[in-house]
Every structure is written in structure tokens, then in C-alpha cells.
């Protein structure tokens, strides 16, 4: 899975355009959101997403590998446990959000180490 990061200014208009472009390219969004002037979406094919956005004149999109792990949402404190484990392992986190299947998405500096810690 891949995290696609896209700069946005006018959130409604920019995300509407991003959604239309990616949808037309057959790229489905499996999670994500918008915060701090940046849209981030979980996609299967990051290269296809970035290529479609660039072809439509949407510049600045970047795809990075994303680690997707189950979240025990019924366990209070589960997110804290996950974050503590990553911190203790020295994993640097660029982003974290949820997908549509109740899993946590992490964009980190060392996906292999993060996966070992969280699995």
C-alpha cells in the first residue's frame, strides 16, 4: 500500500478535483483525510496516482510506502500502545491515520522495523 501526499489550498475544490482525477484513473482511495494544507490518501498503486495527478496538472504529489496494521478499536489505549512501541523502537513517524477497514496507516522512516514492532 502507498500513502499519497498532495498539497491543497481550497480543500473542497482541490479534493473534488483530486477525487475526480484519481477516480477516472481507476485509483481507489482506501483511507485518508486532509489536514495542515495536505491531503493524504491510502492507495494500492502510488505511482499510478502520482502519474494521473501530474497528467491532470496537479503538481507536488508524492507517494511513499505505507504500513497498514490492524487496530483493535475495541481495546481502550490501543493507539497509545502502538505509538509507544514505535517510539521505544526509535521509529520516526511522518503520518498516521485510519483506513476504511479499521486499520492504522503509518508512514514511517523504517517500515520493516515498525512492522516487526507492531505485529
Calpha distance 115→49 (Å, rounded): 24
* CA distances (Å), origin 26, targets 22, 42, 48, 69, 115: 6, 14, 9, 24, 29
| pTM exceeds 0.85 for this model | yes
Q: Average pLDDT of each block of 10 consecutive residues along the chain (119 residues)?
A: 98 98 98 96 98 98 97 94 98 97 96 95
Q: How far apart are CA 59 and CA 84, in angstroms?
A: 35
**Quick one: pLDDT at residue 119?**
84
pLDDT reported for residue 8: 98
Q: Report whether 62 contacts 47 (CB < 8 A).
A: no
The pLDDT score that the predictor gives to residue 13 is 98
Give the orientation angle of helix 11-24 with respect to helix 46-55, to 10 degrees: 110
Amino acid at each position: 500500500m502507498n500513502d499519497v501526499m498532495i498539497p491543497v489550498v481550497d480543500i473542497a475544490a482541490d479534493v473534488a478535483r483530486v477525487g475526480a482525477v484519481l477516480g477516472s484513473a481507476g485509483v481507489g482511495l482506501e483511507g485518508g483525510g486532509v489536514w495542515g494544507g495536505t491531503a493524504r490518501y491510502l492507495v494500492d498503486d502510488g505511482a499510478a496516482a502520482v502519474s494521473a495527478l501530474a497528467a491532470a496538472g496537479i503538481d507536488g504529489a508524492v507517494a511513499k510506502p505505507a504500513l497498514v496494521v490492524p487496530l483493535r478499536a475495541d481495546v481502550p489505549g490501543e493507539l497509545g500502545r502502538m505509538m509507544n512501541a514505535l517510539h521505544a523502537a526509535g521509529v520516526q513517524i511522518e503520518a498516521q491515520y485510519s483506513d476504511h477497514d479499521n486499520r492504522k496507516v503509518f508512514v514511517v522512516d523504517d517500515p520493516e522495523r515498525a512492522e516487526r514492532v507492531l505485529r
